[in-house]
Structure 1
Amino acid sequence: MKIRRARSSTPPDINFIPLIDVLLVIVIFLVCTTTYVRQSQLKVELPGTQAAQAAQNTEKPLVVKVGADGNYALDGELINSEAVLKTRLEGLLRRMAKPADGRVVIEADATATHQSVVTVMDVLASVGVAKVSIATASTNVRSR
């Protein structure tokens, strides 16, 4: 005797509710265990409006220009060697009211070598200048 199973005409269903429950538990676990601490290596205090106004009222910075040929100019005076540049910088920094606050701007020609700019930076570091800026020209770049 053959026993036949009754065949169901409806296809089997996939129940998504347990899957959704498991995913919600995982999301809740991740939210609870994640730390929202901002880790920072440097503590930076941004200047307020008073500090910004005080920075604008400071004296004019020294300007060191680096030519394409490797020559230097300090406040418009042509200088041929690093030794002369160092002695002139030392003299100018001694005459400044606040030598520790002496700022220097390096204006280098676009075709000047990197070595000549680095040499100027080394000379500035050797005379004790801590604030060095490098001037750049703004260009309007259009994307196509």
Structure 2
Amino acid sequence: MNFRPRRRDEPEINLIPFIDVLLVVLIFLMLSTTYSKFTELQLRLPEADAETQRDYPKELIVSITSEGRYAINKAPAPAQSEALSMALAEAAKGGRESVLIISADANATHQSVITVMEAARRIGLTQITFATQTPASAKTR
């Protein structure tokens, strides 16, 4: 019998296979992860103070209802883009220096506002602003 203590080999941890497995898992997670898009944005829209409103001598006011009807300086206007361009050109007394004020209903579609902006671009109106209302909290002061 051999009672001499045997020399035991120290266990050795090989890190290379461990790193390989971690890289494979990392690549799998990167490829399978879907980057979520915001489905709902929390927006806080700006408010305007009516006291700071400027007076434009050559202003052209285009009103847009929630149903998509247009009015230029309180006169009904056509809804077609080309006809709206011609109506804007006739109403613009100051020519290209006229300021276009878009007064759109809060429930008006984005397309109806873009239609007015496109009609203004066609006739060369470059100064465009949007009408707002005073917030309810400012009215009570």
Conserved? CA contact 2:59–2:100, under 8 Å: yes
Q: Using the TM superposition, give the Cα deviation of residue 100 of structure 1 relative to its aligned residue in structure 2, in angstroms.
A: 2.8
* Equivalenced residues, count: 84
Structure 1 position 132 matched with structure 2 position 128: yes
Structure 2 match to 1:120: 116
User: Structure 1 residues 126 and 110 mapped into 2: Cα distance closer, same or farther (>3 Å)?
Assistant: same
Conserved? CA contact 2:99–2:125, under 8 Å: yes
Structure 1 match to 2:69: 71
Q: TM-score, normalised by structure 2?
A: 0.53
Higher RCO (CA < 8 A, seq sep 6+): 2
Deviations 1:15-46, CA, capped at 9 Å, x for gaps: xxxxxxxxxxxxxxxxxxxxxxxxxxxxxxxx
Q: Using the TM superposition, give the Cα deviation of residue 125 of structure 1 relative to its aligned residue in structure 2, in angstroms.
A: 0.9
Q: Using the TM superposition, give the Cα deviation of residue 83 of structure 1 relative to its aligned residue in structure 2, in angstroms.
A: 2.5
Q: Which runs of 5+ in 1 are unaligned?
A: 1-54
Local SS of the residue matching 1:116: helix
Q: TM-score, normalised by structure 1?
A: 0.52
How many Å separate the matches in 1 of 2:66 and 2:77? 13
- One-letter amino acid of the structure 1 residue matched with residue 72 of structure 2: L
- One-letter amino acid of the structure 2 residue matched with residue 130 of structure 1: T
Local SS of the residue matching 1:69: coil
Structure 2 match to 1:59: 57
Q: Percent identity?
A: 29
Local SS of the residue matching 1:100: helix
CA RMSD of aligned residues (A): 2.1
Structure 1 match to 2:89: 90
User: Structure 1 residues 79 and 100 mapped into 2: Cα distance closer, same or farther (>3 Å)?
Assistant: closer
How many Å separate the matches in 1 of 2:82 and 2:107? 23
Conserved? CA contact 2:65–2:104, under 8 Å: yes
Conserved? CA contact 2:58–2:97, under 8 Å: no
User: Structure 1 residues 99 and 71 mapped into 2: Cα distance closer, same or farther (>3 Å)?
Assistant: same
Conserved? CA contact 1:74–1:85, under 8 Å: no
